[in-house]
Structure 1
Amino acid sequence: MNRKVIFVPDDYWTNPPKENHMNVNPNNVSDCRRAGAFVKHHAYTDIDGMNAVISEALDAKRATEFIHAILCTYDAIVPQLVTPAGQVGMSELIFTMADKTDDPAVPEHWNRAARFLIAYGNQDNKLMTRIIHETDNVTPTIIAISDVYTIVLPALRTNFGISIIDRGINLLMAKEVENDG
């Protein structure tokens, strides 16, 4: 059960690459497709699948873009599964996880991921950079981001949730092929 290690540049969140934005463009279609596949493998608790996607991102030298694409993927999925009121409830759960620094029920990597998600939601790039560099191995934090989303949004693991992920992956695969052709 080896996991790949992803290291992001020290200034990634304070000085992100230009192609890291919410819209899918030819520069990040592959990153978004990988992120969708990663989210799906996570939903099935498929460690080998998650490792394969992480390896692909590393081989493509797109690790930091991959992290951003995962966050964008959840940004696209959540409104399809949860009402705005439900999203407030999700936020409260994330804030609770972020506050539980000494609670054995909330592992350190979940706490870190929750704090990272709050910083991401606040667009606090400096704090995201500090959080992502609290450990040399960012892979557990990436997986924990998906863990936190699964905890606060169990619908991700339903057939309907998976179908939303699948539709997004298929759309992105078509765009990826279109851009390569």
Structure 2
Amino acid sequence: MKRKVIFPPADYWTRKDTTMNFTRDNAGDLRRAGVFIKHHAAHDRDGMNAILTETVEAHRETEFITAILDTFDTIVPQLVTPAGQRGMAELVLAMGNGTHHIPIPDNWHRAARFLLAYGDGDNKLMTRIMHETDDVSPTIVGILDVYTVVLPMLHTPFGISAIDRGINTLVSLEAEAD
């Protein structure tokens, strides 16, 4: 069987605009996303669950997912060259379409498909993918798991410091809003 090799453009699933706009409305969502990413990097399930609980209590689930994606859209260009971003996109594409050479968990496959839909701007498909299971949490965690594979430098001291800087800015902005 012959396989086609598809080379998506380097910006396939990352936005060109890498600036993040902080507002009083989204500061909490972005802070939660940053802290969630840090808890994930530390394998702290209790911390992740606490953030998910806070998100649900604030009725900001959709905004939280958007904030996670926005956070990665901002961090990726800081940590990865355009050529590396192309490699990341190809890996996500392989994970999403099932051609990845190593078996991956179902929630990673679903998360990769979600990221591909996000890259295409297909909100309806994103919603369908997110609700393929009764519990959306594994898919949300799967998004971070996929990024762990395609963006390992996030788990370096430099990568975590980028997250920390954003969290500190957001905490200040949230405090001003109160």
2:135 alignment partner AA:
N
Distance 1:85 1:56 in 2: 37
- 2:25 is paired with a residue whose SS is coil
The equivalent of 2:9 in structure 1 is none
Q: 2:149 aligns with which of 105, 130, 151?
A: 151
The equivalent of 2:87 in structure 1 is 89
- 1:61 is paired with a residue whose SS is coil
Could you tell me how far 1:102 is from its partner in structure 2? 9.8
Alignment RMSD (CA, Å):
1.5
- 2:24 is paired with a residue whose SS is coil
The equivalent of 1:64 in structure 2 is 62
Distance 2:51 2:128 in 1: 25
Alignment of 1:27-42 (within 5 A): 27-42=25-40
1:106 correspondence with 2:86: no
Could you tell me how far 1:101 is from its partner in structure 2? 7.6
Equivalent pairs counted in the alignment come to 159
**Cα distance change, pair 172–101 in 1 and its aligned pair in 2 (3 A):** same
Deviations 1:119-162 (A, max 9, x none): 10110111111111111110000000000001001001111110
Distance 1:96 1:104 in 2: 10
1:79 alignment partner AA:
P
Q: Percent identity?
A: 62
The equivalent of 2:41 in structure 1 is 43
2:114 alignment partner AA:
F
Q: 4+ residue runs of structure 1 moved beyond 4 angstroms?
A: 101-104
Specify every segment of 5 or more residues in structure 1 that has no aligned partner in the other structure, as ranges.
Answer: 1-21
Distance 1:102 1:93 in 2: 7
What TM-score do the two structures reach when normalised by structure 2?
0.85
**Cα distance change, pair 85–148 in 1 and its aligned pair in 2 (3 A):** same
Contact 1:34/1:53 (CA < 8 Å) preserved in 2? yes
Specify every segment of 5 or more residues in structure 2 that has no aligned partner in the other structure, as ranges.
Answer: 1-19
The equivalent of 1:167 in structure 2 is 165
Distance 1:98 1:61 in 2: 29
1:53 correspondence with 2:51: yes
**Cα distance change, pair 104–137 in 1 and its aligned pair in 2 (3 A):** farther
1:135 correspondence with 2:133: yes
Distance 2:125 2:50 in 1: 29
